[in-house]
Structure 1
Amino acid sequence: MTYCKGIEGESPREKLLGRGTQALSDAELLALVLHCRSARTGATEFATTLLGGPDGLAGLVSSSQQALLAMPGLGPASVSRLLAALELAARCAKQPLTQRDVMSSPEKTRLFLQHHLGMRSREVFCCLFLDSQHRLLCCEDVFLGTIDGAAVYPREVVVRALHYRAAAVVLAHNHPSGLTRPSSADRRITERLRDALKLVDVRVLDHVIVGRGRCYSFVESGLL
């Protein structure tokens, strides 16, 4: 989290326009996005209260729409602004993947997957289905799980790959715990998926595990 001591009386908006976004704390940025004010406190103080949970900013932005609406002081307008800002960030990360070879820029792939999966409170297994030039055809959440696991069925991944006429696929899932080290089950399912997709001439380019703020690549670690 960033902490900056501002000029006395300087509002978050004035600080942003005068010194840039990096000069603002998490609470000040959140206050600008929410554009809300509690009856008892100012916008920045209210935002600080919202960030006071055990998981801080990550916990707040991973909350469901229903959970956000249930928070005291947050109304439909503020929640809509927050969700819209998060969706814009995800789309900004995804756009380069639709315009060029995905695996020529693995850092952009990981950035998109971090936006897509990094804040989920439950485990999600998704696939990036690619054409023969490794351009993105579709990103699909194929399996949804619990806080500590998701059942993955190779047959269903093969069906989805054939549906999109994919030539290659990048596998990805998140670890809600934040840790990115692959489990023995992660390794086994990766091998099963690779073997199943190979039968229909679809290549597995990588399997990425997403934690909070970091990613683990099977390819970079020599496991694929």
Structure 2
Amino acid sequence: MSIRDWPAAERPREKLLEMGPGSLSDAELLAIFLRTGVAGQSAVDLARTLLSDFGSLRALLEADLGTFSERFGLGPAKFAQLQAVLEMGRRHLAERLHRDSALESPQAVRDYLKARLRHEPHEVFACLFLDARHRVLAFEVLFHGSIDGASVYPRQVVKRALAHNAAALILTHNHPSGVAEPSQADRSLTRRLQDALGLIDVRVLDHFIVGDGEPLSMVEHGWM
């Protein structure tokens, strides 16, 4: 049966307009993106099959072009559309973050860092550079590492802070394992960066570790 033959309240698009996007399942949201199904499957059926095949919505969104294109003939055009949707989401979060002080919008900071770093397959270290009123100047990925670590050089962090004329910054890195608990090396690195940046009067406000859940704040846990 085609989706057009379903009761209006059960059609994903009508349901979204009536009840909001939060009321839709992952499969229903994906079906709206797909727009059409394939022979013998509605868009919702295809979406359910894709989610089952990939294992999760996150795995589908993070698939590369080769893996994505192997499934049901979904080629470069659909892949490009999906990547555009993801990038629009990231830019929306970035605009939210730029409007306010980072300290006044802690959830906006978490949402943005999660969107930027959670999908990375290897460890990545980045900084959110802030002005004297803690408004965002720039976000930069400074170091890429292996699956279990990144070499971070305080001199380079200091250099970028000076280049942005930053008064403060927020450190962040991801744990590809999904576990956000900081290692002893993470804590030691944070202290070294605090010391180095303190010499040029740049405050380190926090260090967020991005895993599968909400990014962990080292300040909130008393580790800074």
Who is 1:102 aligned against? 102
- Normalising by structure 1, report the TM-score: 0.88
Aligned match of 2:175: 175
Unaligned runs of 5+ in 1: 1-5
Give 3-state SS (helix, strand or coil) of 2:143's partner. Answer: strand
Cα distance in 1 between the residues matched to 2:167 and 2:215: 24
What does the per-residue CA deviation read over 1:21-48, in whole Å, with 9 as the maximum and x for residues that have no partner?
A: 2232101101212334334522222222
CA–CA distance in structure 2, aligned partners of residues 166 and 89 of structure 1:
26
Partner of 2:144: 144
Partner of 1:50: 50
What SS class does the counterpart of residue 52 from structure 2 fall into? coil
Tell whether 2:124 aligns with 1:134.
Answer: no
Q: Note the C-alpha offset of 1:190.
A: 0.7
The alpha-carbon deviation at position 55 of structure 1 amounts to: 4.9
Q: Is the 8 A contact 1:34 1:81 kept in 2?
A: no
- Are the structure 2 counterparts of residues 35 and 179 from structure 1 closer, same or farther at C-alpha, using a change threshold of 3 Å? same
User: 1:76-117: CA deviations, max 9, x gaps?
Assistant: 221122112111211121112212211122111111111111
Identity of counterpart residues, as a percentage? Answer: 48
Matched with 1:184 is 184
SS in 2 for 1:52: helix
Q: Separation in 2 of the partners of 1:23 and 1:7?
A: 16
Query: Contact 1:59–1:119 at 8 Å: present in 2 too?
Result: no
The structure that is helix-richer by fraction is: 2
**1:77 aligned to 2:77?**
yes
1:37 equivalent to 2:18? Answer no
Counterpart contact for 1:127–1:139, Cα < 8 Å: yes
Unpaired segments ≥5 residues, structure 2: 1-5
- Partner amino acid, structure 2, of 1:34: L
> Cα–Cα, structure 1 residues 206 and 31, in superposed 2: closer, same or farther, change >3 Å?
same
Structure 1 85/159 Cα, relative in aligned 2: closer, same or farther at 3 Å? same
Other-structure match for 2:207: 207
> 1:158-196: per-residue Cα shift (whole Å, max 9, x none)?
111111111111001111221111111111111111111
In structure 2, distance between residues paired with 1:217 and 1:93: 19
Q: Distance in 2 between matches of 1:217 and 1:190?
A: 12
SS state at 1:139 partner: strand
More divergent stretch after superposition (129-138 vs 114-123)? 114-123
Amino acid of the structure 2 residue aligned with 1:202? V
- Report the CA distance shift for 1:150/1:52 in structure 2 as closer, same or farther (over 3 A): farther
Q: Distance between the aligned counterparts of 1:126 and 1:64, measured in 2? A: 23
**1:133 Cα offset (Å):** 1.4
Cα separation, partners in 2 of 1:124 and 1:39, compared to 1, 3 Å: farther
Residue 21 of structure 1 corresponds to 21
Residues 61 and 119 in structure 1, CA contact (< 8 A), matched pair in contact too:
no
The residue type equivalent to 1:186 in the other structure is D
Q: Give the Cα–Cα distance (whole angstroms) in 1 for the partners of residues 66 and 155 of structure 2.
A: 34
Q: CA RMSD in A?
A: 2.1
Given that residues 36 and 78 in structure 1 are in contact (C-alpha distance below 8 angstroms), is that contact kept between their aligned partners in structure 2?
no
- Structure 2 partner of 1:3: none
Relative to structure 1, the CA distance from residue 137 to residue 57 in structure 2 (aligned partners, 3 Å threshold; closer, same or farther) is: same
* Alpha-carbon distance in structure 1 between the residues aligned to 2:41 and 2:194: 55
- How far apart are the structure 2 equivalents of 1:176 and 1:89? 21
